[in-house]
Chain A
Amino acid sequence: MANFTPLSALAGGVLIGLASVWLLAANGRIAGISGILHGLFGGLRASPPGDRGWRVAFLAGLLLAGFAWLAFFPAEKSETGLIPLTLAGLLVGFGTRLGGGCTSGHGVCGLGRLSLRSLVAVIVFMAAGMLATYVMRHVL
């Protein structure tokens, strides 16, 4: 556990929570990143034009945070190759849209409003994630 970073993890988590509270209080929206992103794509039942602006604005803020952070700190490289990473992206996109949320929507926001659906989703995706990482790092 030499890589354990409790203080930055807790502080970062609090900021994520505050940002979610902010978006719900000021915009009446759930800070579920997969939902915000998916709402911009896919034609069928994707969000109407008037519902797109806030999504683009939120994602632009999220992206700017990356540029701001990386102006001061080094980038972290992915250890996963391009082919498995493509598969991972497809699965993450498909799964989050089918399941109606990801780590932020079901995790941070869903648990925060005591949703049973979100609790089940969090348990399932944590378990599936641990299994997949085990296979990737210790079996393959």
Chain B
Amino acid sequence: MAHLSAFGAGLLFGIGLWLSGMANPKKVLDFLDVTGNWDPSLLLVMGGAVTVTLLFFGKIIKKRGLAFEKTKVDAPLVIGAAVFGVGWGIGGYCPGPAVTALANLSTSVVVFVVAMIAGGILARIAPSRWGA
């Protein structure tokens, strides 16, 4: 049941990504390109999504007694977000859209997703090698 529920959530999430335009890397880059022919649509995607989560998350977290380990703003958070942002700004893909865009069956998306998984593995292994 839990797996079916996760599957349904993924399906709905994916349809949202396509409908919103997030799964279209050109549209994402048009949003990030503030000095060019700027497309503010993604502000509304984020606005719509966050309005819904703001309405319900607090209650669900309380009811389920969920706790989140990390609360402090630290260097890995800021460096990681900056590195992610640069990659996002180069390709126009963030993780969700990249996964659902695999359905394009195009080489470029497959290459991106493989590289993304490799980058994640590197981030898992590297810090322990550096002694962090």
Contact = CB atoms under 8 A, between A and B. Distances in A.
A98 B24 CA distance: 25
Interface of A: 1-6, 8-29, 31, 33-34, 37-38, 41-46, 53-55, 57-70, 73, 75-80, 82, 84-100, 102-104, 106-109, 111-117, 120-122, 124-138
Contacts of A112: 50, 52-54, 56-57
Contacts of B89: 128-136
Nearest to B59: A25
A9 B41 contact: yes
Interface residues of B, number: 111
A82 B13 contact: no
Contacts of A97: 80, 119-120, 123-124
Contacts of A23: 5-6, 9, 13
Interface of B: 2-27, 29-30, 32-42, 44-54, 56-58, 60-61, 64, 66, 68, 70-73, 76-96, 98-104, 106-109, 111-125, 127-128
Nearest to B127: A98
A118 B17 CA distance: 20
